[in-house]
Amino acid sequence: MQLRIATRKSELALWQANHVASLLNELDEVSGVELVPLTTRGDQILDRSLQKIGGKGLFIKELEMAMQTNRADIAVHSMKDVPADMPSGFCIAAVLERANPTDALVTNDNGDLDTIREGGCIGSSSLRRQAQLRAMRPDLEIRELRGNVNTRLGRLELGQYDGIILASAGLQRLGKGGHIAQEFLPQQMLPAAAQGVIGIECLEHQSELRTLLKKLEDYETSVTTSAERAVAFSLQATCQSPVASYATIDGDALHLQALVASVDGSKILREEATTNISDAAEVGADVANRLLKRGASSLLQP
């Protein structure tokens, strides 16, 4: 079977696609893998926030269209960018073993959050990160920051920010882990659902392809991803909502933490639960419903 992977053109997206290609090439059923790099609308529009132009789903629509028009067989994504409510006809066929799920602070002097000057400027386009950061340091100015990893690092080096927040996994995958000044603990900054997870998407009706891709799936990651994404789905949250969820596994036990925050960080609702790993999606929905009963809906209004 010859496979074509639709991918964004950013350095990190290409790293992820090449990583999946190398795993696929190890399977006996795969005769070759070709990358189909595409520019998405989310990559083209960098002067406006994602909330104003349609959210992170803009990064995957062109890739899905490539599969629909038979220009590609699969697409590779950072799962934190994939909406919890998948479009009809598509599915995530497999998720790879999770990398570092944390958020990272990068500063020019390698200082942590406590060392940033009062009123300093932090770059982040994520409402989830902004809200939790404001809860920790309400004195800071938080300014929008979009673009690929190298673009963001470049703007930091130019002195436009005192620090920026990026996913630890992305930096480490690109060999830039040395830039990390501080990794936030989950109790400081709860990660996005499925942060650090690479997912492989295909058309739902392609059963033979789905069976093949399932060979790459990491079971524990699939369980934690299911629980975390169930929170966002039940809250009807988008990838840009100030919502976080993070699950861990200990034996047969799954522990899930979730939060919904006001954008200014003045109000943060937290819930957590522990259940058997077989009930991952159910516990995600349950935790989300508890958040809704405590008034999460009002914090999710645009």
Q: Which residues are catalytic?
A: 81
Helix (H) or strand (E) run with residue 147 in it:
none
- Residue in 232, 269, 234, 284 with CA at minimum distance from that of residue 81: 232
Strand partners, 122: 142, 163
Compute the C-alpha angle 160/163/164, nearest 5°: 95
* Burial annotation 94-120 (CB, 10 A radius, 16+ → b, else e): bbbebbbbbbbbbbeeeeebeebeeeb
Q: Which amino acid is at 42?
A: G
- What is the DSSP pairing of strand 74-78 with strand 268-276? unpaired
DSSP structural state of residue 97? P
Instruction: Let me know: does 223 contact 249? Beta carbons within 8 Å.
Output: yes
Alpha carbon distance 255, 287 (integer Å): 11
Compute the C-alpha angle 33/222/95, nearest 5°: 15
DSSP structural state of residue 134? H
